[in-house]
């Protein structure tokens, strides 16, 4: 094209980086930078990288678990012409099979360090089962994921040990409120009470 070109055999960068990383002793602690420049957060905080790796493994193993139970992954429309959500009407499904979808969801809401209006959601449907079957599916999937991703059903959440290998407690809503709030709704007779 007639453009002047230099055919380089070797190059040495002599300029310094103007975007230096945060100092290593304290790490990256400024929350705004951690969320807006995720690549810096991943470089500076190994536990953040570990979280991203585990998240990827969890999604992969959810698919493996559901595929192993004869579920089929499907995709449904994300962008539709009518408003849905809270204004949606009940509908009847015509699936006679097991289907699931893992996809991005967007909400028209604010954002802060503990809330992101963009997130991943899994939705599944299984014909010919009831809430007992869905509870068994959920419990088995959590146990499977813990074993595959963490190597054990005993995990820790904020320093609290949780054993997913044990059967999950199953309570009615009334029993849960009674146990944790001390209110027995079977004894409540009026709106005022």
The model's confidence at residue 34, banded by pLDDT at 50, 70 and 90, is confident
C-alpha closest to that of 44 among 23, 66, 18:
23
Q: Which of 52-61, 64-73, 95-104 has the lowest mean pLDDT?
A: 95-104
Q: What is the pLDDT of residue 107?
A: 78
Q: What is the pLDDT of residue 80?
A: 67
Distance CA 8, CA 31 (A): 42
How much is the pTM?
Answer: 0.73
Does the pLDDT value for residue 49 go beyond 70? yes
Does the pLDDT value for residue 97 go beyond 80? yes
The answer to whether 63 and 57 are in contact (CB under 8 A) is: no
Q: What is the pLDDT of residue 91?
A: 58
Does the pLDDT value for residue 105 go beyond 80? yes
Q: What is the pLDDT of residue 149?
A: 96
The model's confidence at residue 131, banded by pLDDT at 50, 70 and 90, is very high
Residues 154-191, buried b or exposed e (16+ Cβ, 10 A)?
ebeeeeeeeebeeeeeeeeeeeeebeeeeeeeeeeeee
Does the pLDDT value for residue 163 go beyond 70? yes
Q: What is the pLDDT of residue 37?
A: 79
Stretch 43-51: mean pLDDT: 86
Q: What is the pLDDT of residue 32?
A: 72
């Amino acid at each position: 094209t007639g453009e002047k070109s230099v055919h380089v055999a070797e190059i040495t960068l002599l300029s310094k980086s103007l975007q230096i990383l945060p100092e290593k002793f304290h790490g990256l602690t400024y929350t705004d930078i951690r969320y807006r420049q995720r690549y810096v957060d991943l470089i500076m905080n190994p536990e953040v990288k570990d979280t991203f790796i585990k998240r990827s493994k969890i999604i992969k193993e959810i698919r493996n678990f559901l595929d192993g139970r004869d579920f089929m992954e499907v995709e449904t429309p994300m962008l539709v012409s009518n408003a849905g959500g809270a204004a949606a009407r009940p509908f009847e499904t015509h699936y006679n099979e097991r289907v699931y979808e893992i996809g991005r969801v967007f909400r028209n809401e604010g954002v802060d360090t503990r809330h992101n209006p963009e997130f991943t959601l899994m939705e599944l449907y299984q014909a010919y089962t009831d809430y007992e079957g869905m509870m068994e599916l959920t419990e088995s999937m959590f146990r499977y994921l813990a074993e595959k991703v963490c190597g054990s059903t005993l995990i820790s959440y904020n320093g609290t040990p949780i054993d997913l290998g044990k059967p999950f407690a199953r309570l009615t809503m009334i029993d849960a409120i009674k146990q944790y709030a001390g209110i027995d709704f079977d004894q409540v007779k009026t709106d005022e009470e």
